[in-house]
Chains A and B, each alone.
Chain A
């Protein structure tokens, strides 16, 4: 297992924080068209878990995927321009902000909550059957843990002992529904017991903890000890989407209380206490901002897909003698 270096993790989280902010600005200018789901406050989950995977490992993500994708290794260019509907995006600009595929980086996400868990079972089954040195990670929110897909997939993965790390990124809200009101058990991780799995929780705002747990679970999964279900407890600092009616479901005080626990401040405080120079961290942040400014300018120059591209690849041409699908 590789050594955990907080400064490196902090830098990755900073990149995601600024990337999220850039995306939010573009959404407010209507340059991102679909619902945009901000990630602020959850960076320690993406960096800790998604960033712990190897390139060949498969990651299945959600309708709030952009930071998972970047942490997995998808390029900022491909992810940002996908959200902006440009042809240089992961899915050629046809998927948008909630659903895109990047097979080169083994990254797949979709906008139907809970649907990625059953797909993970198929990936896990293929990895196991073909005896590949790969694992599948499937990340989903607290809301997904109430879907039938969650339970069907966890059971199947458990009975077949599939090499999957299921990560429940509990940001405490399914859109406007507080987790305490709609999940019957005290912790979502307790549901693991129903499938004969261990109950594992981690502080999702502590990037060293998420990375440590991720490394352990991935390693165990590689050795055939999977599957695992881990709950990472975090907090969604922004609305479900930009501009949602937040006060219908939570108080300002609650958000402020969680803001004090947010992962970047925590990591920075710890680094400073350990003697890292604040100027060094500021310079790091400035470099990220410069990089993202350039990214934004580049992204705005990219073309949109054509109608021809929009209707291409609906079907694979049938074999000789077979009808071409219109």
Chain B
């Protein structure tokens, strides 16, 4: 094992996959000379040259369309949309074309594209550079949606996403790039659609995604000291969803908190909550509780930003509310 950052784990995944298969290439704004905004492709232009590492103009529709067209011709593009907020410009290609062509060709066409982007708050960038828009893609048949939370996960999942023949929307988090974690020296893959139990526990299940996973784990430590044992589950892939792992946990604990950075309304947290209610209704001591960002544009600056997004303390409070004896009916 070596300890590396989330950003370095991404770089290693690129490097290994581009060495393994010359059809794999990375394209996006400033992925070459700069090595990406968060340096996750640093040095790759030197190793692989401009055929495999392509700096693109600020043209998200063209970048995404280039992914569709080149995948059609047998290449394996990783197209980077610098901020998930900019993916709005590329939506047509992702939703209307990438997600549809396999089906429209009766399975003859495959489009192994990774639409790689990063979202979320934490870098004081206000509401056009901090959104959590992953929910949109969960609602589109034909897309796989991945949201890794650790260096180990991001590397193993990115490699699987590259090798997968479906279009994948791969959403990193801008506040995680310098997080460190253990990663094996030897090659490994993490299957898509497999959740990970980040911490085992008995009293409450916390299902958290991306940046929220680390907060949930810290909250679980605090709660442990108060005598509440939390099991923390990271689905890692929002779709397809590993329902079994979540259901197994909730059947054991009987209480569940879903934590996402995206606002609750109309989001994946509702999908997760619904799945749990459908499968664990009789095991639940209380309805599933959701703890998500306030439904607002992410405000500018560190103080307000912190107040609208869930954090360790707010997760602790949410779990405490859940475990406190009281009405079975949600308020």
Residues of chain A touching chain B, judged by Cβ–Cβ distance below 8 Å, are 91-92, 94-95, 99-101, 103-104, 108, 110, 112, 115, 117-127, 129-130, 136, 148-149, 152-153, 155-156, 159, 312-316, 318-319, 321-326
Contacts and interface: CB of A to CB of B under 8 A. Distances in A.
A322 B93 contact: no
B312 interface: no
A155 B106 CA distance: 33
Given A121-B62, A127-B73, A155-B62, A312 B104 contact: no
B71 A122 contact: yes
A92 B103 CA distance: 9
A152 B61 contact: yes
Contact of B62 (A101, A108, A153, A319): A153
B142 A115 contact: no
Contact of A152 (B62, B72, B96, B191): B62
Given A129-B51, A318-B164, A325 B240 contact: yes
Contacts of A148: 61, 89
A100 B106 CA distance: 10
B73 A126 contact: yes
Nearest to B79: A122
Contact of B65 (A95, A103, A117, A155): A117
Interface in B268-313: none
A115 B103 contact: no
A110 B96 CA distance: 9
Given A118-B93, A125-B70, A319 B164 contact: yes
B141 interface: yes
Interface stretch (B107-115, B214-222, B224-232): B107-115
B198 interface: no
17 contacts: A118-B64, A118-B69, A118-B93, A122-B69, A122-B73, A122-B77, A152-B60, A153-B59, A155-B59, A156-B66, A312-B103, A314-B102, A315-B142, A318-B166, A318-B191, A323-B193, A323-B242
Given A159-B57, A313-B106, A115 B166 contact: no
A112 B99 CA distance: 14
Contact of A110 (B59, B97, B106): B97
Interface of B: 51, 56-57, 59-62, 64-75, 77, 89, 92-93, 96-97, 100-110, 141-142, 144, 160, 163-166, 191-194, 237, 239-240, 242
A125 B66 CA distance: 8
A101 B66 contact: no
Closest 7 CB pairs of A and B: A118-B65, A122-B69, A323-B193, A126-B73, A152-B59, A152-B62, A122-B70
B52 to A, nearest CB: 9
Nearest to B195: A323
B104 A118 contact: no
Contacts of B60: 152
Contact of A94 (B93, B104, B165, B192): B104
B93 A313 contact: no
Contacts of A136: 69
Contacts of A325: 144, 166, 193, 239-240
Given A124-B69, A322-B194, 15 more contacts: A91-B104, A99-B100, A115-B96, A118-B65, A119-B65, A122-B71, A126-B69, A148-B61, A153-B61, A156-B59, A156-B66, A313-B106, A316-B102, A316-B164, A322-B192
Contact of B191 (A118, A149, A323): A323
A155 B66 CA distance: 13
A95 B71 CA distance: 20
A312 B106 CA distance: 8
B10 to A, nearest CB: 20
Contacts of B107: 312-313, 316
Nearest to B239: A325
A52 B150 CA distance: 53
B105 A103 contact: yes
Contacts of B102: 313-316
A307 to B, nearest CB: 14
A122 B191 contact: no
B77 to A, nearest CB: 7
B97 A326 contact: no
Contacts of A100: 104
A319 B239 CA distance: 15
A146 to B, nearest CB: 14
Given A155-B62, A313-B103, A326 B71 contact: no
B33 to A, nearest CB: 15
Contact of B92 (A99, A122, A149, A155): A149
A155 B57 contact: yes
A153 B68 CA distance: 13
Contacts of A322: 160, 164, 191-194
